[in-house]
């Protein structure tokens, strides 16, 4: 395989090739990396530097830039550099499929870099079982018109979606970037994993929003990649969800064929027992005959998505009311529409605004 970095042609070792497939340039920039940093990461790993080391070095440069800018009184530049560092560290930890000490350290550094974005990005936590679920709350100027809770899937979590939050807060919506069971600090620090009752964990973020006096109005949820399955389940189970976006999710999850993907899913479930992993995946199957989505649904799909085929997402549509469900398809769309990020976020931001604040009418 050759690197996905534009203008670079090189045959890559299998591990590096897999990393470039999982984290191509479009995904790196979609989740907030400086485009120059994204190109450097792909070039450095093509040249033989281990992915995690290359990402950490990029983050170190941005963190030093942030410190220098802060010392000079340039807080805007400092925040920008901290945000680029946060994104680099998010991708750095993705080099590890299982929860190694190195992965935990990189994610902790990512969390610290994201915390430096306060007060514009606020850390929030809510108890669940014997642990704590965390997230990042982004508020608009003025009183929020509604709130959208966004989460990722198996590898990209929480602050990976700060660009999505930007699109929502500029439209007057509050945005809570959730790290649910099996994700982020909720998993790596507090030991909360995905199981048959994972929906209960994601419902705790709805509780958190309802308990915050700053957040009024309706509540929407959005799941990216595998997280779209959790979003659909929550929308079907919890009448407090006023609208739901599913982006690139399987309705019938299975244990992946490839070793690295299996390791990633096992880490999310918190066990190396593949029979147990398969048991959890079978329990999370979304059956439209059992799970009905009564709130408006927006399904996003990219035809070039190798991970989520359209037919694999049709159960979500069959579970919803045709009068209030919408499908948007990009013929050249990659997984979760990395390559249409700005248009995608504008579309979902406007759609949530229309459906959560009572503007416009559902498409028919």
Any idea what the CATH number is for the domain that residue 218 is in?
3.40.50.1820
Q: Identify whether the C-beta of residue 186 lies closer than 8 Å to the C-beta of residue 132.
A: yes
Pair 325, 183 in one domain = yes
Please give the pLDDT value at position 8: 47
**Cα–Cα nearest to 349, from 176, 206, 171:** 171
Q: What domain range includes position 128? A: 119-358
Residues 6+ apart with CB under 8 A from 3: 9, 10, 12, 20, 42, 43, 46
Pair 75, 17 in one domain = yes
Three-state secondary-structure class, residue 177: strand
Residues 6+ apart with CB under 8 A from 230: 151, 180, 198, 199, 202, 223
Q: Which residue has the tokens 């998505």?
A: 305
242 in a domain, yes or no?
yes
Backbone phi, psi, residue 301, to 5°: -145, 140
Pair 82, 138 in one domain = no
Please give the pLDDT value at position 259: 79
Rounded-to-integer distance, Cα 276 and Cα 179, Å: 23
331 in a domain, yes or no?
yes
Taking the model in full, what pTM does it have?
Answer: 0.94
Pair 68, 20 in one domain = yes
80 in a domain, yes or no?
yes
Pair 221, 249 in one domain = yes
Q: Is the dihedral of CA 348, 354, 355, 360 positive or negative?
A: negative
Pair 81, 156 in one domain = no
Rounded-to-integer distance, Cα 356 and Cα 263, Å: 38
Rounded-to-integer distance, Cα 190 and Cα 329, Å: 38
317 in a domain, yes or no?
yes
Please give the pLDDT value at position 363: 34
Pair 22, 76 in one domain = yes
Query: b/e per residue, 152-174, with b = 16+ CB within 10 A?
Result: bbbbbbbbbbbbbbebbbebbbb
Alpha helices, DSSP H, located in the chain: 14-22, 25-30, 35-46, 51-71, 75-93, 101-115, 162-169, 184-188, 198-211, 227-237, 259-269, 274-283, 314-319, 341-356
**Cα–Cα nearest to 66, from 39, 85, 45:** 85
**Overall size of the chain counted in residues:** 364
Pair 112, 135 in one domain = no
Largest CA distance in the chain: 61
335 in a domain, yes or no?
yes
**Cα–Cα nearest to 326, from 352, 364, 291, 287:** 364
Q: Could you say which residues of the chain have pLDDT below 70?
A: 1-10, 359-364
Rounded-to-integer distance, Cα 190 and Cα 82, Å: 25
Pair 65, 136 in one domain = no
Rounded-to-integer distance, Cα 334 and Cα 306, Å: 8
Residues 6+ apart with CB under 8 A from 52: 92, 93, 95, 96, 102, 106
**Quick one: DSSP state of residue 181?**
T
Rounded-to-integer distance, Cα 27 and Cα 152, Å: 13
Pair 99, 182 in one domain = no
H/E run at residue 132: strand 131-138
């Amino acid at each position: 395989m050759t690197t996905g970095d534009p203008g670079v042609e090189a045959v890559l070792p299998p591990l590096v090739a897999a990393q470039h497939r999982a984290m191509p340039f479009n995904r790196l920039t979609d989740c907030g990396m400086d485009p120059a940093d994204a190109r450097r990461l792909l070039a450095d790993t093509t040249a033989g530097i281990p992915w995690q080391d290359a990402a950490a070095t990029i983050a170190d440069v941005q963190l030093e830039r942030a410190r220098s800018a802060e010392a000079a009184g340039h807080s805007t530049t400092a925040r920008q550099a901290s945000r680029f560092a946060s994104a680099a560290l998010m991708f750095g930890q993705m080099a590890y499929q299982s929860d190694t000490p190195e992965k935990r350290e990189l994610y902790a550094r990512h969390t610290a870099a994201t915390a430096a974005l306060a007060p514009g990005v606020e850390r929030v936590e809510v108890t669940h079982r014997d642990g704590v679920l965390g997230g990042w709350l982004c508020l608009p100027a003025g009183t929020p018109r509604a709130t959208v809770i966004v989460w990722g899937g198996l590898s990209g979590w929480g602050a990976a979606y700060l660009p999505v939050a930007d699109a929502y807060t500029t439209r007057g919506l509050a945005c809570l970037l959730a790290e649910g069971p099996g994700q982020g600090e909720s998993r790596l620090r507090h030991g909360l994993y995905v199981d048959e009752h994972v929906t209960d964990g994601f419902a705790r973020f709805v509780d958190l929003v309802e308990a915050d006096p700053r957040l009024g109005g309706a509540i929407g949820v959005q799941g990216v990649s595998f997280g779209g399955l959790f979003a659909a389940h929550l929308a079907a189970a919890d009448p407090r969800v006023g609208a739901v976006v599913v982006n690139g999710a399987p309705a019938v999850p299975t244990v992946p064929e490839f070793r690295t993907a299996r390791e990633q899913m096992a880490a999310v479930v918190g066990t190396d027992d593949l029979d147990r992993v398969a048991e959890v995946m079978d329990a999370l199957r979304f059956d439209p005959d059992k799970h009905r989505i009564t709130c408006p649904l927006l399904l996003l799909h990219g035809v070039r998505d190798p991970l989520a085929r359209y037919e694999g997402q049709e159960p979500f549509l069959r579970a919803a009311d045709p009068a209030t469900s919408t499908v948007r398809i990009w013929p050249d769309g990659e997984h979760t529409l990395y390559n249409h990020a700005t248009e995608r976020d504008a579309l979902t931001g406007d759609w949530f605004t229309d459906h959560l604040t009572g503007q416009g009418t559902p498409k028919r």
